Structure 1
Amino acid sequence: MELLPEELFYKEIDAKDFIRDYLRDSSVSISGGKDSLVAMDLSMRAGIKKFIFGNTTLTYPGTLEYLDKLEKNYDIKIDRATPERPFMDLVKDIGYPSRRLRWCCEVYKFGPLTHYVLENKIKYLITGIRAEESVRRKKYEKISKNPLIPAVQINPILEWTEADIWNYIKHYELPYHPLYDIGYTRLGCWLCPFQNKDDFKRLKDKFPNLYETLITSLTENVKKFGKVGVRELNDYVNNFGWLTNALPIRNIKKGNVEFSKNHKETKYKITCFNKKVFLKILSNIELLKKNSNSVTIDIENYEINLKSSSLNINKVLIFAEKQANCVGCGACKSLCPKSAIKIRYNQIRIDFSKCSYCLNCLKTDKLRAGCISRNYAPIRSKFAVRDIDGEHASFEKNLLESDGLIKTRIKLHEVKAKLSNFFINTLKEQPRYSEINNIYTFSTNNLFITIRKKQGFTYVDLKCDDAEKNLNLLINVLKK
């Protein structure tokens, strides 16, 4: 066996000494890649006994078998952290992530890992992160903190080069992943949106079944959520437009949240438009009850009335929309310090025997909007907010005036032309038309549509009966 290069010899000693400072309550995070392999080997030599693999359900073929091989070769047990729903199942509800809509890490990495950390009382996670890998990782320190994971991150090989990694692997004859022998340089999720076109061409060549699964799923996604904003299906799917784009947003109003303040407390009334949403909110209403002075529930009218001196309107709104939008992704489990959030039948359920009623699950600083689906899904359930003393809540001002919303990249003048043609030639109606301050309206006896431009998007606001049906109708109009 050849000697290690002198510099690497001392790096190995330093890394093991560094790891030994964190022997208690530690676990090594394993991805299946070369860097985490080296971190695992160093940690074992230093005395670490726990290992965790986050199964994103998007691992390359052979990865799970490779982990079995590591367990056998090293005589260890590698725990598996699994998400609530497989990726290919979840995207049917909230669409695909992209470089602009990067929700996948919260659901498939941080959420399951947080659950493992809390359940196993892990204080330190040892990683194979290296500064050389990316500009972002150059800013990391050897001891760091991820706000979505309640454990200190220990990065013992942060300053190692790729040459150091391979020299260490060859010197100790470590069993590395076989994909490195067929040209792969990094292993992660096989459809990560931060890959380039060449990566997907290689996927098509090496794993045609996976590539076909991706293309089929993307096509079904566009058909389900509408082609509004997708100018050319082939460009979006086969030419990887989905990597940087996002499907259009449709907001559908599912109820109202009214509030009234006095000097001691605030009164809230949550009204749902249908029984399904009402029952979703009731399932976890105990969270608000414990933070309220009084609660009354009107089952016949789907209403919940609260009086509270501690809740604010934002928390009540997030609570209502979180329940209404939940698809059981499990990302918000990472927000709960007591592991009280569970997923049952693709719906959030709070274990109130564990809950401390801290309302961390309604915060937005770690998880945008407090909910992946509420923030990223192409079709979102919304509650209008109204101050019954007179003023609308500013952050929901526009939503209050509409029952549904479409957000699209189609040019405003094209939207106007399509709608005008639809009213005149399809509905055989002459709509009332007006324009005030660059806000355009079309209206009939049954429909009131507002069109406006904002931050590069065209917003189509709809006020009518049966908003969901009419939104789908508008989607079909704009597709043409």
Structure 2
Amino acid sequence: MDNKVNEADYFTFTEKNYDFFNQKLQDLGSQDVIKWAFDFFGDKLVYACSFGAEGIVLIDMISKVKKDARIVFLDTHVHFQETYDVINQIKEKYPELQIDMVQPELTLDQQAEKYGEKLWETQPDLCCYLRKNKPLERALAGNSAWLSGLRRDQSPTRANTEFVNKDDKFKLIKVCPLIHWSWEDIWDYIKENDLPYNALHDQNYPSIGCQPCTFPVKPGEDHRAGRWKDIQKTECGLHTRPTKS
């Protein structure tokens, strides 16, 4: 296909397109999937990164394909200091990357005034919507596709993720280069390439989100067991299908 494919987006991709490209990419490694994505979507591709272990791996791979790629971080204002620390390390290591610290529309004080204190405890889905989903929707506007570090073995809700996915929530194409990677693969890559990473990973935090809603996990627990502990919630909503009204 020629450069005209860069005009393709969520609205023009058919199910046959998704099937075709997943077949085309199925035997490629993650680095080649990333290269394909940037060749295909060009500047209409953005990476939304949480700066966890998977994110660090993807950033290193992306930097080898497009040194000035745009990286979006959803700065909820309630992240761990260790998360901000590793972001600063990444900025120093990859100075050409465009790291966009996307802010919510409401400050924490404004949110408390409107919805009450500690919204993450009283209405966690609403808190995620205001501080993550809505800001990402704004950050992705005008793009055709976004990259994500989802892996199939992270949780049952991610087990069927493909390299190229239809994202009904943000009306974009979602590309996930690491779907076949294990947790061990992630750490082998980090160690082999001497990459910085979030220090909380050494304290039994495999999945790291906002400080009030993230806890260490016990041996043998699901990697996302420490997210929204003790409530019926496993996802912030970025990777779930929109509910029908």
TM normalised by structure 2 equals 0.68
- Gapped runs of 5+ residues in structure 2? 1-25, 218-228, 233-240
Specify the alignment match of 2:163 in structure 1: 142
Q: What SS does the aligned partner of 1:52 have?
A: strand
Specify the alignment match of 1:102 in structure 2: 125
> Is the 1:28–1:43 Cα contact (8 Å) retained in structure 2?
no
State the structure with more CA Rg.
1
Q: What SS does the aligned partner of 2:159 have?
A: helix
Q: What SS does the aligned partner of 2:136 have?
A: helix
Paired AA for residue 52 in structure 2: G
- Gapped runs of 5+ residues in structure 1? 1-10, 200-239, 245-364, 370-480
Listed one character per residue, the Cα deviations across residues 238-267 of structure 1 (whole Å, up to 9, x for unaligned) are xx98x46xxxxxxxxxxxxxxxxxxxxxxx
Higher strand share: 1
> Is the 1:110–1:148 Cα contact (8 Å) retained in structure 2?
no
**CA distance in structure 2 between the aligned counterparts of 1:186 and 1:62, rounded to whole angstroms:** 13
Does 2:71 match 1:51? Answer: yes
Does 2:114 match 1:93? Answer: yes
Listed one character per residue, the Cα deviations across residues 55-92 of structure 1 (whole Å, up to 9, x for unaligned) are 12221113223212211111223111111113464144
**CA distance in structure 1 between the aligned counterparts of 2:31 and 2:178, rounded to whole angstroms:** 10
Q: Which structure would you say has the larger RCO, counting Cα contacts within 8 Å and 6 or more residues apart?
A: 2
**CA distance in structure 2 between the aligned counterparts of 1:109 and 1:168, rounded to whole angstroms:** 28
Q: What SS does the aligned partner of 1:144 have?
A: strand
Task: Let me know the Cα RMSD of the aligned residues.
Answer: 3.1
> Is the 1:56–1:189 Cα contact (8 Å) retained in structure 2?
yes
Specify the alignment match of 1:188 in structure 2: 209
User: Which residue of 92, 117, 122 maps to 2:140?
Assistant: 117
Specify the alignment match of 1:17 in structure 2: 32
Change in CA separation of 1:141 and 1:12 when aligned onto 2, cut-off 3 Å = closer
1:366 CA drift (Å): 4.5
Specify the alignment match of 2:226 in structure 1: none
Paired AA for residue 74 in structure 1: Y
**CA distance in structure 2 between the aligned counterparts of 1:62 and 1:12, rounded to whole angstroms:** 36
1:93 CA drift (Å): 2.7
**Aligned residues between the structures:** 194
Specify the alignment match of 1:282 in structure 2: none
**CA distance in structure 1 between the aligned counterparts of 2:51 and 2:108, rounded to whole angstroms:** 19
**CA distance in structure 1 between the aligned counterparts of 2:146 and 2:183, rounded to whole angstroms:** 22
**CA distance in structure 1 between the aligned counterparts of 2:128 and 2:100, rounded to whole angstroms:** 19
Specify the alignment match of 1:73 in structure 2: 93
Structure 1 moving runs of 4+ over 6 Å? none
Give identity over the alignment, percent. Answer: 22
Change in CA separation of 1:159 and 1:137 when aligned onto 2, cut-off 3 Å = same
Change in CA separation of 1:43 and 1:152 when aligned onto 2, cut-off 3 Å = same
Change in CA separation of 1:156 and 1:21 when aligned onto 2, cut-off 3 Å = same
